[in-house]
Amino acid sequence: MITRIRNARLILPEGIEEKKYLYFADGAITAVTAEELPFDEEIDAAGLYAAPGFIDLHVHGGGGADFTEDDEEDILHAIDHHAYHGTTTIYPSTVAASCDTLRGALRRLRNAIGSGRALANVPGVHLEGPYFSPAQCGAQNTDFITPPVPQDYESLLQEYGDVIKRWSFAPELPGSREFLKAVHAKGVVTSMGHTNAKYEDVLMAVEEGCTLITHFYSCISTITREKGYRKLGVMECGYLMDELDVEAIADGCHIPAELFRLLYKIKGREHICLVTDALRCCGNEGERSSTGGVACIIKNGVAVLPDESAFAGSIATTDRLVRFCVEKVGIPLTEAVQMATANPARVMGLAAKGKLAAGCDADLVLFDEDINVKRVVVMGKTIREEV
């Protein structure tokens, strides 16, 4: 069955187009054209924007459920919570934990993904840790932070290499080069995060194929001095090295608007990926929550540690990220959408996602001028519709 969308402001790679139709069938876009082609059903967008479905590379849960700790039904609930807000492709993320805990989480996530019941696409899992710097642990549980342990990561890759697609780590730790070689041999995308690395550590990681920095500005090193000599940290390397893309938690709390403008000015629209880093309390905002055994409270639209010394994660959905970039930072809508779609698709090698073009997957999100989501389509199936 061929579906046609009309009266939409299509957000295309070349700009916003109001005079074309979008056709899709069997889960894929068949044409974006002004031509009158045959169709079986029609969706009148009534002037709404139509964008590619959002892609979230880094998200720990939502709707009261946690991807590391909870069972398969709760995992599906968390995925669906984000899908309703326009995230049509999601990478469930774990936290620093024991190898046995990660093994259990991966087993449950694999079962949930394999069930075919998730409303969003789930290409795989993002392991955030546990190979991090204790000095940059943030809200990660220090009981489990460790340098890379070959027998652990090798066993996880052997058992769950089919679902592990991203791994965040700190490149300054002993054994990091060997870790990078092992995970890259399995096709896993690596990302530097919770790290106190210096320029030479980052350079090693990039030479070994690392392409991403986890939640830029949060829990990463900056310039230090050694006997008067300045050493670049991960932040400056992220600006310096064109090979590196960066995640940005654009919830308006982790990165204030003026700082995001600096990031946008230097890295540009091509190298920023919007992520939520959302916790279980996203959409279920009680006064207290926890993840990985670390407690947090919700205050002023963000999760913070109980002593309010640091953020613990966000309670955002991806539509909020795009809205912040447009309304508060002043980024053009087309570019903000690119940061939530085409850029993460490129980083993860998802050739059929992230743009509205013939041959791409029919993942769509329709929203109004204020970026309020009105319809979500995943692989050609409408999963949310507001009349």
Query: Do 68 and 30 share a domain, yes or no?
Result: no
Q: What is the pLDDT of residues 292-325, one digit of tens each?
A: 666 777 777 776 677 766 676 788 999 999 999 9
For the entire predicted model, the pTM comes to 0.95
Query: Do 381 and 279 share a domain, yes or no?
Result: no
Q: What is the pLDDT of residues 254-291, one digit of tens each?
A: 999 999 999 999 999 999 999 999 988 766 555 455 56
Query: Do 59 and 35 share a domain, yes or no?
Result: no
- Give the pLDDT score at 309: 67
86 pLDDT higher than 60:
yes
Query: Do 60 and 42 share a domain, yes or no?
Result: no
Over residues 229-256, the mean pLDDT reads 96
Query: Do 30 and 120 share a domain, yes or no?
Result: no
What letter represents residue 103's amino acid? R
Q: What is the pLDDT of residues 91-101, one digit of tens each?
A: 999 999 999 99
- Residue 26's CATH number: 2.30.40.10
Query: Do 118 and 144 share a domain, yes or no?
Result: yes
Per the structure, the complete domain to which residue 377 belongs is given by 2-49+370-385
Indicate the length of the chain as a whole number.
Answer: 387
